[in-house]
Structure 1
Protein backbone atom coordinates (compact mmCIF):
# COMPACT_ATOMS: atom_id res chain seq x y z
CA UNK A 1 0.00 0.00 0.00
CA UNK A 2 1.30 3.46 -0.80
CA UNK A 3 3.61 5.34 -3.11
CA UNK A 4 6.06 3.62 -5.44
CA UNK A 5 8.92 5.87 -6.54
CA UNK A 6 9.90 3.37 -9.21
CA UNK A 7 6.42 3.24 -10.75
CA UNK A 8 5.60 6.89 -9.95
CA UNK A 9 2.21 5.76 -8.69
CA UNK A 10 0.17 5.71 -5.52
CA UNK A 11 -1.94 2.58 -4.96
CA UNK A 12 -4.37 1.93 -2.15
CA UNK A 13 -4.89 -1.79 -1.67
CA UNK A 14 -8.23 -3.00 -0.39
CA UNK A 15 -9.12 -6.51 0.86
CA UNK A 16 -8.78 -9.45 -1.56
CA UNK A 17 -6.08 -7.75 -3.62
CA UNK A 18 -8.25 -5.00 -5.10
CA UNK A 19 -6.41 -1.73 -5.69
CA UNK A 20 -7.19 1.86 -6.63
CA UNK A 21 -4.21 3.70 -8.09
CA UNK A 22 -3.12 7.03 -9.52
CA UNK A 23 -0.14 7.98 -11.63
CA UNK A 24 1.84 10.57 -9.70
CA UNK A 25 3.90 13.52 -10.95
CA UNK A 26 5.40 14.40 -7.58
CA UNK A 27 4.98 14.18 -3.84
CA UNK A 28 4.05 17.65 -2.59
CA UNK A 29 4.04 17.12 1.16
CA UNK A 30 4.32 14.43 3.80
CA UNK A 31 4.36 14.42 7.58
CA UNK A 32 3.52 12.33 10.60
CA UNK A 33 0.87 14.24 12.52
CA UNK A 34 -0.09 13.55 16.10
CA UNK A 35 -2.69 11.08 14.84
CA UNK A 36 -1.78 9.77 11.39
CA UNK A 37 0.54 9.88 8.40
CA UNK A 38 -0.47 12.61 5.96
CA UNK A 39 0.66 12.65 2.33
CA UNK A 40 -0.18 14.92 -0.59
CA UNK A 41 0.59 14.14 -4.23
CA UNK A 42 0.16 15.79 -7.61
CA UNK A 43 -1.43 13.25 -9.93
CA UNK A 44 -1.30 13.16 -13.71
CA UNK A 45 -5.01 13.51 -14.38
CA UNK A 46 -6.91 14.23 -11.16
CA UNK A 47 -5.12 17.16 -9.56
CA UNK A 48 -3.94 16.79 -5.99
CA UNK A 49 -4.38 13.58 -4.00
CA UNK A 50 -4.80 13.62 -0.20
CA UNK A 51 -3.83 10.44 1.67
CA UNK A 52 -4.17 9.61 5.38
CA UNK A 53 -2.49 6.50 6.79
CA UNK A 54 -2.22 5.08 3.29
CA UNK A 55 -5.88 5.54 2.39
CA UNK A 56 -7.16 7.89 -0.31
CA UNK A 57 -9.25 10.70 1.17
CA UNK A 58 -9.92 12.62 -2.00
CA UNK A 59 -8.66 13.63 -5.41
CA UNK A 60 -9.05 17.28 -6.32
CA UNK A 61 -10.78 16.65 -9.64
CA UNK A 62 -13.90 14.70 -8.77
CA UNK A 63 -14.05 15.24 -5.01
CA UNK A 64 -17.59 16.56 -5.46
CA UNK A 65 -18.69 12.99 -6.26
CA UNK A 66 -18.28 12.34 -2.54
CA UNK A 67 -19.04 15.67 -0.87
CA UNK A 68 -22.20 16.47 -2.83
CA UNK A 69 -23.69 13.06 -2.09
CA UNK A 70 -22.75 13.15 1.59
CA UNK A 71 -24.34 16.56 2.12
CA UNK A 72 -27.19 17.52 -0.19
CA UNK A 73 -29.52 14.50 0.09
CA UNK A 74 -29.92 14.97 3.86
CA UNK A 75 -29.99 18.78 3.66
CA UNK A 76 -32.80 18.67 1.09
CA UNK A 77 -34.71 15.95 2.95
CA UNK A 78 -34.82 18.12 6.08
CA UNK A 79 -37.48 20.86 5.82
CA UNK A 80 -35.37 23.60 7.43
CA UNK A 81 -31.79 22.66 8.38
CA UNK A 82 -30.47 25.57 10.44
CA UNK A 83 -27.84 23.98 12.65
CA UNK A 84 -25.48 21.37 11.24
CA UNK A 85 -22.70 19.36 12.89
CA UNK A 86 -19.86 17.89 10.84
CA UNK A 87 -17.56 15.36 12.47
CA UNK A 88 -14.28 15.00 10.58
CA UNK A 89 -14.05 16.52 7.14
CA UNK A 90 -10.81 18.39 7.75
CA UNK A 91 -10.30 19.09 4.04
CA UNK A 92 -13.30 21.46 4.12
CA UNK A 93 -15.28 19.95 1.26
CA UNK A 94 -18.24 18.91 3.39
CA UNK A 95 -18.35 22.28 5.16
CA UNK A 96 -18.31 24.01 1.76
CA UNK A 97 -21.32 22.06 0.54
CA UNK A 98 -23.28 22.55 3.79
CA UNK A 99 -22.83 26.31 3.61
CA UNK A 100 -24.32 26.41 0.12
CA UNK A 101 -27.70 26.09 1.84
CA UNK A 102 -29.19 29.46 2.76
CA UNK A 103 -31.16 28.01 5.68
CA UNK A 104 -27.94 27.23 7.58
CA UNK A 105 -27.37 29.58 10.50
CA UNK A 106 -24.45 27.69 12.03
CA UNK A 107 -22.24 24.84 10.85
CA UNK A 108 -20.00 23.36 13.51
CA UNK A 109 -17.10 21.19 12.33
CA UNK A 110 -15.16 19.03 14.79
CA UNK A 111 -11.88 17.70 13.36
CA UNK A 112 -9.40 15.85 15.54
CA UNK A 113 -6.30 16.54 13.43
CA UNK A 114 -5.42 20.21 13.04
CA UNK A 115 -2.72 19.38 10.49
CA UNK A 116 -5.32 18.03 8.05
CA UNK A 117 -7.07 21.40 8.13
CA UNK A 118 -3.85 23.39 7.79
CA UNK A 119 -2.44 21.35 4.91
CA UNK A 120 -5.78 21.32 3.12
CA UNK A 121 -6.13 25.09 3.38
CA UNK A 122 -2.59 25.70 2.12
CA UNK A 123 -2.33 23.08 -0.62
CA UNK A 124 -5.87 22.12 -1.62
CA UNK A 125 -8.23 25.02 -1.04
CA UNK A 126 -11.31 22.94 -1.79
CA UNK A 127 -13.13 24.66 1.08
CA UNK A 128 -13.34 27.69 -1.26
CA UNK A 129 -13.54 30.08 1.65
CA UNK A 130 -15.87 27.97 3.80
CA UNK A 131 -13.55 28.09 6.82
CA UNK A 132 -13.83 31.89 6.78
CA UNK A 133 -17.61 31.95 6.51
CA UNK A 134 -19.10 33.66 9.62
CA UNK A 135 -21.59 30.78 9.96
CA UNK A 136 -18.77 28.24 10.33
CA UNK A 137 -17.27 27.18 13.65
CA UNK A 138 -14.14 25.00 13.58
CA UNK A 139 -13.36 22.98 16.70
CA UNK A 140 -10.14 20.97 16.88
CA UNK A 141 -11.00 18.01 19.04
CA UNK A 142 -12.38 14.50 19.38
CA UNK A 143 -15.78 14.24 17.69
CA UNK A 144 -16.88 11.32 19.87
CA UNK A 145 -16.10 13.28 23.05
CA UNK A 146 -17.65 16.47 21.68
CA UNK A 147 -20.92 14.79 20.75
CA UNK A 148 -21.18 13.16 24.17
CA UNK A 149 -20.53 16.40 26.08
CA UNK A 150 -22.11 19.18 24.00
CA UNK A 151 -25.41 20.72 25.06
CA UNK A 152 -26.15 21.94 21.53
CA UNK A 153 -28.81 20.35 19.34
CA UNK A 154 -28.64 19.90 15.59
CA UNK A 155 -30.96 19.43 12.64
CA UNK A 156 -28.40 17.46 10.65
CA UNK A 157 -25.29 15.55 11.75
CA UNK A 158 -22.79 14.55 9.05
CA UNK A 159 -19.93 12.17 9.79
CA UNK A 160 -17.14 12.58 7.25
CA UNK A 161 -14.68 10.07 8.64
CA UNK A 162 -12.11 7.61 7.42
CA UNK A 163 -13.22 4.04 6.59
CA UNK A 164 -15.23 2.03 9.15
CA UNK A 165 -12.16 0.02 10.16
CA UNK A 166 -9.34 0.70 12.62
CA UNK A 167 -9.42 3.91 14.72
CA UNK A 168 -12.64 5.17 13.10
CA UNK A 169 -14.63 2.16 14.32
CA UNK A 170 -15.84 4.16 17.34
CA UNK A 171 -17.73 6.39 14.91
CA UNK A 172 -19.69 3.32 13.79
CA UNK A 173 -20.63 2.04 17.25
CA UNK A 174 -24.08 1.82 18.81
CA UNK A 175 -22.91 4.06 21.66
CA UNK A 176 -21.88 6.79 19.23
CA UNK A 177 -25.16 6.52 17.34
CA UNK A 178 -27.05 6.97 20.62
CA UNK A 179 -25.09 10.15 21.33
CA UNK A 180 -25.94 11.42 17.84
CA UNK A 181 -29.63 10.57 18.20
CA UNK A 182 -29.80 12.40 21.52
CA UNK A 183 -28.20 15.52 20.07
CA UNK A 184 -30.53 15.73 17.08
CA UNK A 185 -33.55 17.98 17.33
CA UNK A 186 -37.06 16.46 17.41
CA UNK A 187 -36.80 16.06 13.65
CA UNK A 188 -33.27 15.33 12.51
CA UNK A 189 -31.10 13.44 10.05
CA UNK A 190 -27.77 11.70 10.52
CA UNK A 191 -25.55 10.54 7.66
CA UNK A 192 -22.27 8.67 7.47
CA UNK A 193 -20.20 7.13 4.73
CA UNK A 194 -19.97 3.39 5.33
CA UNK A 195 -17.26 2.08 3.03
CA UNK A 196 -17.03 0.06 -0.17
CA UNK A 197 -20.21 -1.87 -0.94
CA UNK A 198 -18.30 -4.88 -2.27
CA UNK A 199 -15.17 -4.84 -0.12
CA UNK A 200 -16.46 -3.59 3.26
CA UNK A 201 -19.81 -5.38 3.10
CA UNK A 202 -19.52 -6.80 6.62
CA UNK A 203 -18.65 -3.39 8.04
CA UNK A 204 -21.67 -1.91 6.24
CA UNK A 205 -23.93 -4.62 7.68
CA UNK A 206 -22.56 -4.08 11.20
CA UNK A 207 -23.09 -0.32 11.02
CA UNK A 208 -26.60 -0.74 9.60
CA UNK A 209 -27.52 -3.21 12.34
CA UNK A 210 -26.23 -0.88 15.07
CA UNK A 211 -28.03 2.15 13.60
CA UNK A 212 -31.33 0.26 13.43
CA UNK A 213 -31.17 -0.23 17.21
CA UNK A 214 -31.04 3.53 17.70
CA UNK A 215 -32.75 5.55 14.94
CA UNK A 216 -36.45 5.60 14.11
CA UNK A 217 -35.65 4.60 10.52
CA UNK A 218 -32.44 3.81 8.67
CA UNK A 219 -31.86 4.15 4.94
CA UNK A 220 -28.94 2.87 2.88
CA UNK A 221 -27.74 3.98 -0.54
CA UNK A 222 -24.68 3.88 -2.76
CA UNK A 223 -22.89 6.13 -5.23
CA UNK A 224 -19.81 5.87 -7.47
CA UNK A 225 -17.09 8.03 -5.89
CA UNK A 226 -13.96 8.96 -7.83
CA UNK A 227 -10.87 7.62 -6.06
CA UNK A 228 -12.67 5.03 -3.94
CA UNK A 229 -13.42 1.33 -4.47
CA UNK A 230 -16.91 2.15 -5.71
CA UNK A 231 -19.81 1.81 -5.39
CA UNK A 232 -19.48 3.53 -2.01
CA UNK A 233 -22.10 3.10 0.68
CA UNK A 234 -23.86 5.66 2.87
CA UNK A 235 -26.21 5.23 5.82
CA UNK A 236 -28.88 7.70 6.95
CA UNK A 237 -30.51 7.66 10.36
CA UNK A 238 -33.83 9.45 10.93
CA UNK A 239 -35.19 10.95 14.13
CA UNK A 240 -38.86 11.87 13.96
CA UNK A 241 -41.21 11.58 11.00
CA UNK A 242 -38.91 12.74 8.19
CA UNK A 243 -38.91 10.79 4.93
CA UNK A 244 -35.43 10.59 3.43
CA UNK A 245 -36.87 9.33 0.15
CA UNK A 246 -38.36 12.77 -0.50
CA UNK A 247 -36.27 15.91 -1.09
CA UNK A 248 -37.17 19.54 -1.75
CA UNK A 249 -35.71 20.05 -5.22
CA UNK A 250 -36.54 23.78 -5.12
CA UNK A 251 -33.86 24.34 -2.44
CA UNK A 252 -31.08 22.55 -4.32
CA UNK A 253 -27.91 24.61 -4.88
CA UNK A 254 -27.05 25.54 -8.43
CA UNK A 255 -24.37 23.76 -10.46
CA UNK A 256 -24.29 20.34 -8.82
CA UNK A 257 -22.01 18.02 -10.79
CA UNK A 258 -22.78 14.56 -9.43
CA UNK A 259 -25.82 14.42 -7.15
CA UNK A 260 -29.07 15.05 -9.05
CA UNK A 261 -31.96 15.97 -6.70
CA UNK A 262 -34.45 15.38 -9.52
CA UNK A 263 -33.22 11.78 -9.70
CA UNK A 264 -32.91 11.29 -5.95
CA UNK A 265 -34.49 7.84 -6.20
CA UNK A 266 -31.48 6.54 -8.15
CA UNK A 267 -29.38 6.72 -4.98
CA UNK A 268 -31.18 3.70 -3.60
CA UNK A 269 -29.89 1.24 -6.19
CA UNK A 270 -27.95 -1.46 -4.37
CA UNK A 271 -26.61 -4.80 -5.64
CA UNK A 272 -29.27 -7.44 -5.10
CA UNK A 273 -27.23 -9.67 -2.81
CA UNK A 274 -26.19 -6.70 -0.62
CA UNK A 275 -29.79 -5.47 -0.38
CA UNK A 276 -30.90 -8.94 0.66
CA UNK A 277 -28.22 -9.08 3.33
CA UNK A 278 -29.25 -5.67 4.65
CA UNK A 279 -32.93 -6.58 4.71
CA UNK A 280 -32.13 -9.63 6.86
CA UNK A 281 -30.82 -7.35 9.60
Structure 2
Protein backbone atom coordinates (compact mmCIF):
# COMPACT_ATOMS: atom_id res chain seq x y z
CA UNK A 1 0.00 0.00 0.00
CA UNK A 2 1.37 3.41 -1.00
CA UNK A 3 1.05 5.70 2.03
CA UNK A 4 2.30 8.73 0.09
CA UNK A 5 -0.25 10.87 -1.73
CA UNK A 6 0.18 14.39 -3.10
CA UNK A 7 3.24 15.05 -0.90
CA UNK A 8 1.56 13.79 2.27
CA UNK A 9 2.51 10.70 4.26
CA UNK A 10 -0.44 9.08 6.06
CA UNK A 11 0.07 6.64 8.92
CA UNK A 12 -2.75 4.12 9.23
CA UNK A 13 -3.15 1.48 11.91
CA UNK A 14 -1.47 -1.65 10.42
CA UNK A 15 -4.74 -3.60 10.43
CA UNK A 16 -6.56 -0.75 8.65
CA UNK A 17 -3.72 -0.45 6.13
CA UNK A 18 -4.01 -4.13 5.27
CA UNK A 19 -7.77 -3.86 4.77
CA UNK A 20 -7.48 -0.69 2.67
CA UNK A 21 -4.83 -2.32 0.48
CA UNK A 22 -7.05 -5.36 0.00
CA UNK A 23 -4.29 -7.74 1.07
CA UNK A 24 -6.08 -9.19 4.09
CA UNK A 25 -8.74 -8.76 6.75
CA UNK A 26 -6.35 -7.09 9.22
CA UNK A 27 -6.16 -10.04 11.62
CA UNK A 28 -2.48 -10.69 10.91
CA UNK A 29 -1.70 -7.07 11.84
CA UNK A 30 -3.37 -7.06 15.25
CA UNK A 31 -1.42 -6.30 18.43
CA UNK A 32 -0.53 -9.44 20.37
CA UNK A 33 0.46 -10.36 23.92
CA UNK A 34 2.13 -13.74 24.40
CA UNK A 35 0.64 -14.81 21.08
CA UNK A 36 -2.94 -13.80 21.87
CA UNK A 37 -4.61 -11.22 19.60
CA UNK A 38 -5.87 -8.13 21.43
CA UNK A 39 -6.76 -5.23 19.14
CA UNK A 40 -5.68 -3.03 16.29
CA UNK A 41 -2.94 -0.52 17.01
CA UNK A 42 -5.04 2.60 16.41
CA UNK A 43 -7.91 1.31 14.31
CA UNK A 44 -10.22 3.87 12.74
CA UNK A 45 -7.89 6.85 12.74
CA UNK A 46 -4.88 8.13 10.81
CA UNK A 47 -2.15 10.76 11.06
CA UNK A 48 -0.51 12.70 8.23
CA UNK A 49 2.67 14.71 7.73
CA UNK A 50 3.57 16.90 4.77
CA UNK A 51 6.56 15.38 2.96
CA UNK A 52 9.41 17.46 1.60
CA UNK A 53 11.61 14.63 0.30
CA UNK A 54 12.01 10.85 0.53
CA UNK A 55 15.48 10.11 1.89
CA UNK A 56 15.45 6.31 2.16
CA UNK A 57 13.04 3.49 1.41
CA UNK A 58 14.00 -0.20 1.52
CA UNK A 59 12.87 -3.53 2.89
CA UNK A 60 15.14 -5.06 5.56
CA UNK A 61 15.07 -8.71 6.61
CA UNK A 62 12.30 -7.83 9.05
CA UNK A 63 10.36 -4.74 7.97
CA UNK A 64 9.88 -1.82 5.61
CA UNK A 65 12.22 1.03 6.54
CA UNK A 66 11.41 4.56 5.39
CA UNK A 67 12.99 7.91 6.19
CA UNK A 68 11.57 11.13 4.81
CA UNK A 69 12.18 14.80 5.41
CA UNK A 70 8.95 16.43 6.53
CA UNK A 71 8.10 20.09 6.20
CA UNK A 72 7.35 20.57 9.92
CA UNK A 73 8.94 17.75 11.97
CA UNK A 74 12.34 17.30 10.34
CA UNK A 75 13.48 13.82 9.38
CA UNK A 76 11.02 11.03 10.17
CA UNK A 77 11.75 7.32 10.68
CA UNK A 78 8.94 4.93 9.72
CA UNK A 79 8.96 1.15 10.26
CA UNK A 80 6.31 -0.98 8.58
CA UNK A 81 4.17 2.10 8.06
CA UNK A 82 4.33 3.32 11.68
CA UNK A 83 6.13 6.52 12.64
CA UNK A 84 8.88 5.74 15.16
CA UNK A 85 10.58 9.07 15.70
CA UNK A 86 10.98 12.58 14.30
CA UNK A 87 13.67 15.22 14.71
CA UNK A 88 11.22 17.65 16.26
CA UNK A 89 9.73 15.62 19.13
CA UNK A 90 12.07 12.65 19.65
CA UNK A 91 13.57 14.04 22.87
CA UNK A 92 10.27 13.72 24.75
CA UNK A 93 10.08 9.96 24.23
CA UNK A 94 13.81 9.26 24.55
CA UNK A 95 14.34 11.28 27.73
CA UNK A 96 11.38 9.84 29.59
CA UNK A 97 12.05 6.20 28.68
CA UNK A 98 15.71 6.57 29.64
CA UNK A 99 15.71 8.81 32.70
CA UNK A 100 12.65 7.41 34.49
CA UNK A 101 14.49 4.11 35.16
CA UNK A 102 17.99 5.57 35.36
CA UNK A 103 16.94 8.02 38.07
CA UNK A 104 15.04 5.23 39.84
CA UNK A 105 18.25 3.26 40.45
CA UNK A 106 20.78 4.34 43.11
CA UNK A 107 23.89 3.62 41.03
CA UNK A 108 23.27 2.36 37.47
CA UNK A 109 26.48 0.96 36.03
CA UNK A 110 25.42 -1.87 33.73
CA UNK A 111 22.59 -1.04 31.32
CA UNK A 112 20.89 -3.16 28.66
CA UNK A 113 18.84 -1.62 25.85
CA UNK A 114 16.57 -3.97 23.93
CA UNK A 115 15.76 -2.33 20.61
CA UNK A 116 16.60 1.35 20.42
CA UNK A 117 18.32 1.10 17.05
CA UNK A 118 17.90 4.81 16.35
CA UNK A 119 20.37 5.54 19.17
CA UNK A 120 18.22 7.90 21.22
CA UNK A 121 18.02 5.84 24.41
CA UNK A 122 21.76 5.15 24.18
CA UNK A 123 22.42 8.88 23.92
CA UNK A 124 20.39 9.58 27.06
CA UNK A 125 21.70 6.66 29.15
CA UNK A 126 25.30 7.72 28.55
CA UNK A 127 24.56 11.12 30.11
CA UNK A 128 24.72 9.41 33.52
CA UNK A 129 28.36 9.41 34.76
CA UNK A 130 27.89 6.20 36.76
CA UNK A 131 27.36 4.13 33.61
CA UNK A 132 30.27 1.80 32.85
CA UNK A 133 28.78 -0.36 30.10
CA UNK A 134 25.77 -0.24 27.81
CA UNK A 135 24.75 -3.33 25.87
CA UNK A 136 22.33 -2.70 23.02
CA UNK A 137 20.52 -5.56 21.32
CA UNK A 138 18.80 -4.43 18.11
CA UNK A 139 17.24 -6.98 15.78
CA UNK A 140 17.44 -4.90 12.60
CA UNK A 141 20.88 -3.68 11.56
CA UNK A 142 19.35 -1.53 8.84
CA UNK A 143 17.69 0.66 11.49
CA UNK A 144 21.09 1.40 13.05
CA UNK A 145 22.67 2.22 9.69
CA UNK A 146 19.77 4.43 8.63
CA UNK A 147 19.87 6.29 11.95
CA UNK A 148 23.58 6.99 11.55
CA UNK A 149 23.00 8.41 8.09
CA UNK A 150 19.77 10.36 8.51
CA UNK A 151 19.03 10.85 12.24
CA UNK A 152 22.12 12.72 13.31
CA UNK A 153 20.62 14.15 16.47
CA UNK A 154 19.73 10.67 17.72
CA UNK A 155 22.65 8.55 16.54
CA UNK A 156 25.34 10.50 18.38
CA UNK A 157 26.78 7.78 20.62
CA UNK A 158 27.38 4.64 18.57
CA UNK A 159 31.13 5.27 18.76
CA UNK A 160 31.15 5.30 22.58
CA UNK A 161 33.71 2.89 24.09
CA UNK A 162 31.08 1.99 26.70
CA UNK A 163 28.77 0.52 24.04
CA UNK A 164 28.56 -3.16 23.13
CA UNK A 165 26.25 -3.44 20.11
CA UNK A 166 24.67 -6.82 19.45
CA UNK A 167 22.59 -7.35 16.32
CA UNK A 168 20.01 -9.99 17.09
CA UNK A 169 16.74 -10.91 18.75
CA UNK A 170 16.36 -9.35 22.20
CA UNK A 171 14.23 -12.19 23.55
CA UNK A 172 16.86 -14.77 22.60
CA UNK A 173 19.69 -12.54 23.85
CA UNK A 174 18.20 -12.35 27.34
CA UNK A 175 18.20 -16.12 27.71
CA UNK A 176 21.97 -16.09 28.18
CA UNK A 177 22.15 -13.45 30.91
CA UNK A 178 21.44 -13.65 34.64
CA UNK A 179 21.76 -11.02 37.43
CA UNK A 180 23.91 -8.87 35.13
CA UNK A 181 22.20 -5.52 34.61
CA UNK A 182 21.17 -2.65 36.88
CA UNK A 183 18.71 -1.23 34.35
CA UNK A 184 17.03 -2.81 31.33
CA UNK A 185 15.20 -0.55 28.89
CA UNK A 186 12.91 -1.94 26.20
CA UNK A 187 12.66 0.56 23.35
CA UNK A 188 10.45 -1.33 20.95
CA UNK A 189 7.85 -0.67 18.31
CA UNK A 190 4.29 -1.94 18.79
CA UNK A 191 3.66 -5.65 19.51
CA UNK A 192 3.17 -6.46 15.83
CA UNK A 193 5.83 -8.25 13.80
CA UNK A 194 9.48 -8.13 15.02
CA UNK A 195 8.64 -6.57 18.41
CA UNK A 196 5.84 -8.98 19.34
CA UNK A 197 8.08 -11.13 21.57
CA UNK A 198 9.00 -8.11 23.73
CA UNK A 199 5.54 -7.89 25.28
CA UNK A 200 4.18 -10.33 27.84
CA UNK A 201 4.99 -12.53 30.79
CA UNK A 202 7.56 -14.72 29.06
CA UNK A 203 9.61 -11.63 28.17
CA UNK A 204 9.33 -10.14 31.66
CA UNK A 205 10.50 -13.44 33.15
CA UNK A 206 13.70 -13.19 31.15
CA UNK A 207 14.15 -9.53 32.10
CA UNK A 208 13.70 -10.30 35.78
CA UNK A 209 16.35 -13.01 35.61
CA UNK A 210 18.80 -10.69 33.82
CA UNK A 211 18.41 -7.88 36.37
CA UNK A 212 20.47 -7.59 39.53
CA UNK A 213 18.75 -7.69 42.94
CA UNK A 214 17.89 -3.97 42.89
CA UNK A 215 17.38 -3.82 39.12
CA UNK A 216 14.85 -1.65 37.30
CA UNK A 217 12.97 -2.28 34.05
CA UNK A 218 11.39 0.31 31.77
CA UNK A 219 9.41 -0.59 28.66
CA UNK A 220 7.51 1.30 26.01
CA UNK A 221 3.91 0.62 27.00
CA UNK A 222 1.52 2.16 24.48
CA UNK A 223 -1.23 4.76 25.06
CA UNK A 224 -3.94 4.94 27.72
CA UNK A 225 -6.31 6.38 25.09
CA UNK A 226 -5.99 3.42 22.73
CA UNK A 227 -4.63 0.37 24.51
CA UNK A 228 -5.98 0.09 28.07
CA UNK A 229 -6.75 -3.67 27.83
CA UNK A 230 -3.23 -4.35 26.55
CA UNK A 231 -1.62 -2.13 29.18
CA UNK A 232 -3.69 -3.74 31.94
CA UNK A 233 -2.50 -7.18 30.86
CA UNK A 234 1.10 -5.97 30.72
CA UNK A 235 0.81 -4.52 34.22
CA UNK A 236 -0.61 -7.78 35.55
CA UNK A 237 2.18 -9.76 33.90
CA UNK A 238 4.76 -7.50 35.53
CA UNK A 239 3.01 -7.62 38.92
CA UNK A 240 3.28 -11.40 38.93
CA UNK A 241 7.06 -11.09 38.73
CA UNK A 242 8.09 -7.77 40.29
CA UNK A 243 7.16 -6.42 43.75
CA UNK A 244 6.97 -2.82 42.51
CA UNK A 245 5.25 -1.85 39.26
CA UNK A 246 4.00 1.51 37.97
CA UNK A 247 2.83 3.17 34.77
CA UNK A 248 3.81 6.64 33.56
CA UNK A 249 2.60 8.66 30.60
CA UNK A 250 3.91 11.60 28.58
CA UNK A 251 3.05 13.60 25.48
CA UNK A 252 4.66 12.96 22.10
CA UNK A 253 2.81 14.78 19.28
CA UNK A 254 3.51 12.33 16.45
CA UNK A 255 2.47 9.17 18.31
CA UNK A 256 -1.13 7.94 18.02
CA UNK A 257 -3.35 9.96 20.40
CA UNK A 258 -0.38 12.25 21.16
CA UNK A 259 0.63 10.23 24.22
CA UNK A 260 2.89 7.30 25.01
CA UNK A 261 3.25 5.24 28.15
CA UNK A 262 6.09 3.64 30.07
CA UNK A 263 5.88 0.56 32.27
CA UNK A 264 8.39 0.58 35.12
CA UNK A 265 9.14 -2.36 37.39
CA UNK A 266 11.65 -2.86 40.19
CA UNK A 267 12.94 -5.92 42.03
CA UNK A 268 13.11 -3.87 45.23
CA UNK A 269 10.25 -4.25 47.70
CA UNK A 270 8.09 -1.15 48.26
CA UNK A 271 9.98 0.86 45.66
CA UNK A 272 7.97 4.02 45.00
CA UNK A 273 8.94 4.47 41.37
CA UNK A 274 7.24 7.86 41.12
CA UNK A 275 9.89 9.33 43.44
CA UNK A 276 13.36 9.42 41.83
CA UNK A 277 16.13 7.96 43.97
CA UNK A 278 18.59 10.27 42.24
CA UNK A 279 16.66 13.47 41.48
CA UNK A 280 18.41 15.68 38.96
CA UNK A 281 18.70 19.32 39.97
CA UNK A 282 18.26 22.16 37.50
CA UNK A 283 22.00 22.47 36.93
CA UNK A 284 22.31 18.77 36.12
CA UNK A 285 19.38 18.90 33.71
CA UNK A 286 20.99 21.84 31.96
CA UNK A 287 24.43 20.22 31.73
CA UNK A 288 22.84 17.02 30.37
CA UNK A 289 21.01 19.02 27.72
CA UNK A 290 17.58 17.78 28.79
CA UNK A 291 14.66 19.38 26.98
CA UNK A 292 11.79 17.41 28.53
CA UNK A 293 12.60 15.30 31.60
CA UNK A 294 13.05 16.83 35.06
CA UNK A 295 12.50 15.64 38.63
CA UNK A 296 9.04 17.23 38.89
CA UNK A 297 7.89 15.72 35.61
CA UNK A 298 9.24 12.36 36.77
CA UNK A 299 6.70 12.28 39.60
CA UNK A 300 3.92 13.98 37.66
CA UNK A 301 4.07 11.45 34.82
CA UNK A 302 2.76 8.72 37.14
CA UNK A 303 -0.40 10.69 37.92
CA UNK A 304 -3.05 9.22 35.65
CA UNK A 305 -6.55 10.44 34.76
CA UNK A 306 -9.32 8.69 36.67
CA UNK A 307 -10.35 6.30 33.90
CA UNK A 308 -6.79 5.03 33.45
CA UNK A 309 -6.06 4.86 37.17
CA UNK A 310 -9.15 2.73 37.74
CA UNK A 311 -8.34 0.42 34.83
CA UNK A 312 -4.65 -0.08 35.58
CA UNK A 313 -4.36 0.04 39.34
CA UNK A 314 -7.32 -2.01 40.53
CA UNK A 315 -4.91 -4.33 42.35
CA UNK A 316 -3.06 -1.55 44.16
CA UNK A 317 -4.66 -2.42 47.48
CA UNK A 318 -2.76 -5.70 47.37
CA UNK A 319 0.17 -3.77 48.85
CA UNK A 320 2.53 -4.78 46.06
CA UNK A 321 1.99 -1.96 43.60
CA UNK A 322 3.12 1.63 43.63
TM norm structure 2 = 0.83
Task: Give the SS at the match of 1:237.
Answer: strand
User: 1:152, 1:127 → 2: CA distance?
Assistant: 29
User: 2:86, 2:243 → 1: CA distance?
Assistant: 35
Residue 11 and residue 74 in structure 1: after superposition, are their counterparts in 2 closer, same or farther (change >3 A)? Answer: same
Is the contact between residue 215 and residue 239 of structure 1 (CA under 8 Å) also seen in structure 2? yes
Spell out the pairing of 1:213-252 with structure 2 (5 A cutoff).
213-229=240-256, 230-241=258-269, 242-247=271-276, 248-250=278-280, 252=284
Is residue 113 from structure 1 mapped to residue 147 from structure 2 by the alignment? no
Task: Give the SS at the match of 2:108.
Answer: coil
Is the contact between residue 179 and residue 213 of structure 2 (CA under 8 Å) also seen in structure 1? no
Residue 78 and residue 169 in structure 1: after superposition, are their counterparts in 2 closer, same or farther (change >3 A)? Answer: same
Q: 1:20 — aligned with what? A: 47
User: 1:267, 1:175 → 2: CA distance?
Assistant: 27
Deviation, structure 1 residue 156? 0.3
User: 2:168, 2:211 → 1: CA distance?
Assistant: 20
User: 1:168, 1:250 → 2: CA distance?
Assistant: 32
Q: 2:3 — aligned with what? A: 3
Q: Report the RMSD for the aligned CA atoms in angstroms.
A: 1.7
1:69-88 Cα deviation digits (max 9, x unpaired): 00011111111000000000
Is the contact between residue 164 and residue 194 of structure 1 (CA under 8 Å) also seen in structure 2? no
Task: Give the SS at the match of 1:132.
Answer: coil
Deviation, structure 1 residue 249? 2.1
Is residue 86 from structure 1 mapped to residue 113 from structure 2 by the alignment? yes
Task: Give the SS at the match of 1:122.
Answer: helix
After the TM superposition, which segments of 4 or more aligned residues of structure 1 sit over 6 Å from their partners?
none
- Range moving further from structure 2, 231-240 or 149-158: 149-158
Spell out the pairing of 1:25-64 with structure 2 (5 A cutoff).
25-64=52-91
1:215-252 Cα deviation digits (max 9, x unpaired): 11110011001310222111001112443122122475
Residue 266 and residue 150 in structure 1: after superposition, are their counterparts in 2 closer, same or farther (change >3 A)? Answer: same
Deviation, structure 1 residue 262? 3.0
Question: Which of 254, 263, 277 is matched with 2:297 structurally?
Answer: 263
Is the contact between residue 154 and residue 185 of structure 1 (CA under 8 Å) also seen in structure 2? yes
User: 2:160, 2:285 → 1: CA distance?
Assistant: 17
Spell out the pairing of 1:97-112 with structure 2 (5 A cutoff).
97-112=124-139
User: 1:182, 1:135 → 2: CA distance?
Assistant: 23
Stretches of structure 2 lacking an aligned partner (at least 5 in a row): 14-41, 316-322
Residue 204 and residue 166 in structure 1: after superposition, are their counterparts in 2 closer, same or farther (change >3 A)? Answer: farther
User: 2:146, 2:218 → 1: CA distance?
Assistant: 26
Task: Give the SS at the match of 1:38.
Answer: strand
Flag the structure with larger Rg: 2
User: 2:170, 2:158 → 1: CA distance?
Assistant: 18
Stretches of structure 1 lacking an aligned partner (at least 5 in a row): none
Spell out the pairing of 1:57-72 with structure 2 (5 A cutoff).
57-72=84-99
Question: Which of 135, 143, 151 is matched with 1:124 structurally?
Answer: 151
Deviation, structure 1 residue 151? 4.6
